[in-house]
Structure formats: structure tokens, C-alpha cells
């Protein structure tokens, strides 16, 4: 996200004038909301090198249904994940949803920190407990002509620490702790929707791996009240409908939305404090 400081200042000014409180960004755990009277602070992009991320070389949710609708077969030849990741119960999301679009933003500089935080070959890893629910959601969306796009999955603790170093405000970035929850426990995902086939008129900015992203009202990691899952002000009726479609599909699999971010969904046991995984992403 370019010019985050200016966007934050604009956001706080709008919030103050409208009497509303921007929702916190849940980059692992939900933090306390920012008071509408809080002073604006300038948060600059990080120019430091990304943290060392492990590689292969170096909100409570309801129960997941026991049976999920059939989905497309796993991708043939998907590389095996590391022994450490397997021991932690992690799986590559592409092995359970063959048509999943993996667009990990933290493996690029296109994120709120402004630098790459994951290896370029990072994979979308989730705990195996999320598999039935994600299959259910994907199958439901597939029947509606949509596919899931994954922006973030398992997040190593080192990355969470670096995020907080860049934005040391628990109102916006969760303070790293001694235990793993949510993304750090591989039990939460950041997702959006795309059309199963790209229409000829799809704008270049909405194209991703041969598909066309649906209008959801905001971009990823948007620090504004419009990013709230059930926001209506400033969010078109079409975008609200798309968000509802995504929530309904994920809820069918027992995966629930975080109210502060329309893209963040928590799987079973996401709020349980667990030891840090320290598993490689590739």
C-alpha cells in the first residue's frame, strides 16, 4: 500500500468528522479499536530488509461439518511440504482446492509494509482442520461461477514481529506474543473472490492469474471503516452482495469472518493459544 501515512491521516480525519471509529486491522488477533479522538500519526514504509523467514533449508468458529461437498481433484504433482510443516499438521491449500488462486501479497512488496516479507516461492499453508470447511466453501462458490483467491494463510512469527516493528500500534497490528493464534497458528485465511473465467472487459487492475477479481468495496489491508465486514457506508450494493456471498460460503464450512476485515476468516480453534510453529513456507 503506497503512502500509508497519508491514507492513515486521511482516515483519522474522516473518522473524526463523521464520528465513527475505524476498525482495527487483525493481523493475527483482534486489537482494541482506535478512539475517534486519537491523534494522527505518520506511518512510513519500511526500507529495512524483511525478517528471516523459515524456509525448507534453513475468534472461535463453529464445528466444521463432517462431510463436505465434492470438490475438484487435488493438483497433480503438488510438491510435498517440509517435514516440519507436516509434523505441525499443515497442508498446501492447493492440495484440497485445485482451482484456488494463491496470490500471497506478503511474498511481494504489494502490501501495507511495502517490502517482501515471505520467500517468493512461499506457499499457502493451512492447518488440516481447515480442509473440510475450505472444501465446502470452494464447492459452493464453484457452483456460482466463482473461485477463492488466497491473500494470506499461515504467517511465521518472525513476520508478525516485523509487522509490529513497522507499525508498532496494537490498534492496527496485533502485538506479537508468546503463543500463536489465527494466522500464526495456520487457522485463519485472508481471501477474496474472482470469476471462474476472465471476462473480456476485466480491468487490468482486477486481473489475477487469468481470472477477474470481484468488486469487494476495498482493496486488501485497507485501513478504513469500509473494510469492516458488514460496512454499508461507502460500499456499493454490488460489493456488499459479493461480501455476503463469500461469508455465506465460508460459514457453510464453519469458517467465520472477523467483523473488522471482510477478507479475514477464522477456522475452528483459531483463538486457542498454541506454541509457535516456526515452520517453513516453502
The CATH code that applies to domain 4-46+54-266 is 3.30.1380.10
Question: Closest Cα partner for 62 from 215, 265, 228?
Answer: 265
> What pLDDT digit, counting tens, does each position of 10-28 carry?
433 334 334 444 444 444 5
d(CA 15, CA 198): 36
- The model carries a pTM of 0.77
Concatenating the DSSP letter of every residue in 138-157 gives HHHHHTTTEEEEEEE----H
- By residue count, the chain amounts to 282
Contact 195, 242 (CB under 8 A): no
Contact 22, 11 (CB under 8 A): yes
Question: Which strand (E) or helix (H) includes residue 175?
Answer: none
Cell numbers given for 229: 465486514
Question: Closest Cα partner for 262 from 230, 214, 234?
Answer: 230
**Strand, coil or helix: what is 90?**
strand
Handedness of CA 53, 78, 127, 87 (dihedral sign): negative
Residue spans per domain, the chain? 4-46+54-266
| pLDDT of amino acid 103 | 97
| pLDDT of amino acid 110 | 93
Low-confidence ranges of the chain (pLDDT < 50): 1-27, 29-50, 54-73
d(CA 263, CA 258): 8
The answer for residues whose C-beta is within 8 angstroms of residue 90's C-beta and 6 or more apart is 81, 125, 126, 127, 128, 154, 186, 277, 279
> What pLDDT digit, counting tens, does each position of 16-69 carry?
334 444 444 444 543 333 333 333 322 333 334 445 554 443 333 333 333 333
d(CA 267, CA 257): 9
Place of cell 471503516: 225
| pLDDT of amino acid 115 | 92
Amino acid at each position: 500500500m503506497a503512502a500509508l501515512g497519508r491514507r492513515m491521516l486521511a482516515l483519522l480525519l474522516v473518522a473524526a468528522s463523521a464520528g465513527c471509529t475505524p476498525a482495527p486491522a487483525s493481523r493475527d488477533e483482534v486489537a482494541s479499536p482506535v478512539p475517534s479522538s486519537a491523534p494522527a500519526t505518520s506511518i512510513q514504509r519500511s526500507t529495512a530488509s524483511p525478517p528471516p523467514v523459515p524456509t525448507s533449508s534453513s475468534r472461535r468458529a463453529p464445528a466444521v461439518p463432517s462431510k463436505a461437498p465434492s470438490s475438484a481433484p487435488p493438483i497433480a504433482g503438488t510438491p510435498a511440504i517440509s517435514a516440519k510443516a507436516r509434523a505441525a499438521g499443515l497442508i498446501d491449500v492447493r492440495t484440497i482446492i485445485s482451482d484456488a488462486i494463491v496470490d500471497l501479497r506478503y511474498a511481494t512488496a504489494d502490501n501495507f509494509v511495502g517490502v517482501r516479507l515471505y520467500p517468493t516461492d512461499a506457499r499457502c499453508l493451512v492447518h488440516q482442520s481447515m480442509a473440510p470447511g475450505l472444501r465446502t466453501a470452494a464447492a459452493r462458490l464453484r457452483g456460482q461461477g466463482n473461485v477463492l483467491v488466497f491473500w494470506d494463510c499461515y504467517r511465521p512469527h518472525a513476520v508478525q514481529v516485523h509487522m509490529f516493528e513497522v507499525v508498532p500500534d496494537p490498534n492496527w497490528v496485533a502485538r506479537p506474543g508468546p503463543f500463536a493464534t489465527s494466522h500464526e497458528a495456520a487457522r485463519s485465511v485472508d481471501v477474496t473472490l474472482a470469476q471462474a473465467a476472465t471476462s473480456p472487459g476485466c480491468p487490468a487492475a482486477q486481473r489475477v492469474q487469468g481470472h477477474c477479481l470481484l468488486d469487494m468495496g476495498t482493496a486488501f489491508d485497507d485501513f478504513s471503516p469500509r473494510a469492516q465486514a458488514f460496512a454499508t457506508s461507502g460500499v456499493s450494493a454490488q460489493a456488499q452482495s459479493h461480501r455476503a456471498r463469500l461469508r455465506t460460503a465460508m460459514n457453510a464450512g464453519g469458517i467465520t469472518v472477523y467483523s473488522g476485515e471482510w477478507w479475514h476468516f477464522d477456522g475452528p480453534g483459531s483463538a486457542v493459544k498454541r506454541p509457535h510453529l516456526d515452520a517453513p513456507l516453502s
